[in-house]
Structure 1
C-alpha cells in the first residue's frame, strides 16, 4: 500500500522497499501499545490511516480483498480497537459519526478512533479472507459485548437494560453478513478453520462472581465450538441468543423473563438487519454503479 497518509502516520518506521509482511508488522507495532485497548493519539492515527489505506485499495479494485501477508497483523491491530469498532458498528454514539473524518481524537483521558461505517465493513470483509483474522475480530467484539452486559446493574430497566445487548447484536450482525459472503466453494473449510481458531484460543470460564465479562466471553467461546456446525446456513448467527442465555443464567433471579424474551427478539432482529446491510454494502463495493 503506497498511501501517503499511512506513510506519514508511520513516520520513520515506513520504508519504500517494505514487503507487505513487514508493513503489516509495522502497522501492528505502531497502532498498539503495552496495555490492550488503550492507545495514544499517534497509535490511533496509525490505525485510522491503515483503515483508510486499505479502504482505498478496496475501492480501486472494487473487491474487498487485501494482501495475504497483511491480513493477520492488521486484524490483530484492529482487534485491539474493538471498543471503537463496536461503537462504529452499532452507530449509536454520535461522537463516532462526528469524528469519522477526523479519525482519532482525545475524549478526556481516553483516545478514540473512528472511521466511516461502509469503509469498516469493507475492511473487515477483506481481513476475513483469513479465517483466523475473522475469529479473532469476532471474539474481540464478543469481549466488548461481555463488558457491556456485565455492567448492567441489578433490576435495570429501559435503555440501561436493553442497550448493551442490542449494541452487541448489531455488531454481530455485520460479522454474520461477512461470514455469509464467503464463497460457497470455500465456506466449509473457512468455517472449520474459524472454529478451530476459537478452539485453540479458548480457556476455562471463570466464575461469574469472579470475572463476569470473562465468564461470558469464555463461555461463549466454549459453547460456540461445541454447538456450531460448519454445514448449512446461519454460521454463528445464533450468537446473540447464545450470549444472552449465558448472561441471564449467570445473573440468576434478578432478570424478568418477559423482558428477557423481548430483548432476545430485538437482538435477533438487530443482528438480521445488520447482516442484510452488510450484504448490500459489499454488493455496492463490487458494483458501485448500482449503489443507491
Structure 2
C-alpha cells in the first residue's frame, strides 16, 4: 500500500503541529540501538530508521522469525511506547508510520493474540521479557496497552492502519477456516468471538484517530482506509474452494463503504459477524451460524472496543494484564455511536 493522498497529507501536517515522537528520540534509546545492531547510526534519517527496523525484525519468509528478530520487534514496540507515554503524544514521525505498521502486520499471529487479549500464554511471556518458541515457531509478546498505543501512533496514516487491519482480517479468516466443520459449542464460539475481540481493538483505534478531527479530515481518513483495503484485496474474488482466505477477505473488502464523519464504519464494527457469515456461506454445506453465536461475536467486538478506547483515553496507563475482555466503563460509546 502506498502512502499518499490528501487525507494522509492532512494527518501529517496536523501531527507536525502537535509534535509527534521524533526519530531522534527513538535513536537515542539504547534498546533501539541494540535492536538495529550494526545497522545503527546516530545520523540515520527517518526513512533509514524505518528500513533498519524492518531489517532487524523481519525474516526472509513473511511471518517467520528467529528469536533475535522477535526480540528486536519486542524492543522496538516497547521503546516506541515508552517514547509515546513519556512525551504524552499519540503519534510518531510520519515516515515511521508505514514501516511500523508493516512490522505489526508481519507479526500478526502474535499481534492478533495481543489485540484479542484472551490467551494466557501471552500474559506469561509479556512478563518474561523474552521471545519463546513452540511447535508453531518463534513468538513475542508485549502488554496489550503497548501494542494498542503503537498501533494508534501509526494509524494517523490511513494506509498504515489499513495495512494492519488487512493483516488481521487475513488471520481471522484463517482462524475460521481451521475450525473443524463438525465443531459446535465452545469449540466454535471461542475462535469466532476471539476474532471479533481482536477486531474490536482496531475499531477503537479508528475511533480515536477520527474523534477529534474536523469533519472533512475524519471523512477523508475513513475514505482512504476503505480505498486501501479494497486495493489490497484479491480481485476478482476467488472461489472459496480455491482460496478460502482470499474469498473471505475479498468478499468483505468488496462491500466496504465509508461512514459518516467521525463514525467507525459499520463494516468494521460488524466485521466479526460478517467474516463468520462469509465463512459459513463459503463452506456451502448447510451450516448457518446461530443468532446466539452471532450475538456473542457482536458483544465481544463491542466490549473489546470499549476496553481499548478506555486505554487510549489514558495519557499514561499502567501495564494492563491481558485477559478476558470486559465491558468498557459506563459512558464509553459503542462502535458507530460516536
TM over 0.5: yes
Equivalent-residue separation in structure 2 for 1:90 and 1:199 (angstroms)? 24
Q: 2:161: which partner in 1?
A: 134
Q: 2:118: which partner in 1?
A: 92
Match for residue 74 of structure 2 among 36, 43, 48: 48
Q: 1:180: which partner in 2?
A: 207
Q: Secondary structure at the match of 2:182?
A: coil
Q: 1:214: which partner in 2?
A: 246
Q: Secondary structure at the match of 2:35?
A: helix
Q: 2:284: which partner in 1?
A: 252
Q: Using the TM superposition, give the Cα deviation of residue 214 of structure 1 relative to its aligned residue in structure 2, in angstroms.
A: 2.2
Equivalent-residue separation in structure 2 for 1:241 and 1:158 (angstroms)? 16
Equivalent-residue separation in structure 1 for 2:274 and 2:49 (angstroms)? 38
Equivalent-residue separation in structure 2 for 1:184 and 1:165 (angstroms)? 33
Q: Using the TM superposition, give the Cα deviation of residue 267 of structure 1 relative to its aligned residue in structure 2, in angstroms.
A: 0.8
Q: Using the TM superposition, give the Cα deviation of residue 278 of structure 1 relative to its aligned residue in structure 2, in angstroms.
A: 1.5
Is 1:114 the counterpart of 2:141? The answer is yes
Q: Secondary structure at the match of 2:315?
A: helix
Is 1:268 the counterpart of 2:294? The answer is no
Q: Which runs of 5+ in 1 are unaligned?
A: none
- TM-score normalised according to structure 1 size: 0.92
Q: Secondary structure at the match of 1:285?
A: coil
**Cα 1:262–1:287 shift into 2, 3 Å:** closer
Q: Using the TM superposition, give the Cα deviation of residue 11 of structure 1 relative to its aligned residue in structure 2, in angstroms.
A: 0.7
Aligned residues: 285
Structure 1 stretch displaced more, 63-72 or 245-254: 245-254
Contact 1:3–1:53 (CA under 8 A) maintained in structure 2: yes
Is 1:125 the counterpart of 2:155? The answer is no
Q: Using the TM superposition, give the Cα deviation of residue 40 of structure 1 relative to its aligned residue in structure 2, in angstroms.
A: 0.9
Q: Using the TM superposition, give the Cα deviation of residue 228 of structure 1 relative to its aligned residue in structure 2, in angstroms.
A: 4.3
Q: Secondary structure at the match of 2:133?
A: strand
Contact 1:62–1:287 (CA under 8 A) maintained in structure 2: no
Equivalent-residue separation in structure 2 for 1:37 and 1:19 (angstroms)? 26
Q: Secondary structure at the match of 2:290?
A: helix
Q: Secondary structure at the match of 1:111?
A: strand
Contact 1:32–1:43 (CA under 8 A) maintained in structure 2: yes
Q: Using the TM superposition, give the Cα deviation of residue 20 of structure 1 relative to its aligned residue in structure 2, in angstroms.
A: 1.7
Q: Which runs of 5+ in 2 are unaligned?
A: 1-25, 319-328, 330-338
Q: Secondary structure at the match of 2:65?
A: coil
Equivalent-residue separation in structure 1 for 2:172 and 2:290 (angstroms)? 16
Q: Secondary structure at the match of 1:181?
A: helix
Q: Using the TM superposition, give the Cα deviation of residue 200 of structure 1 relative to its aligned residue in structure 2, in angstroms.
A: 2.1
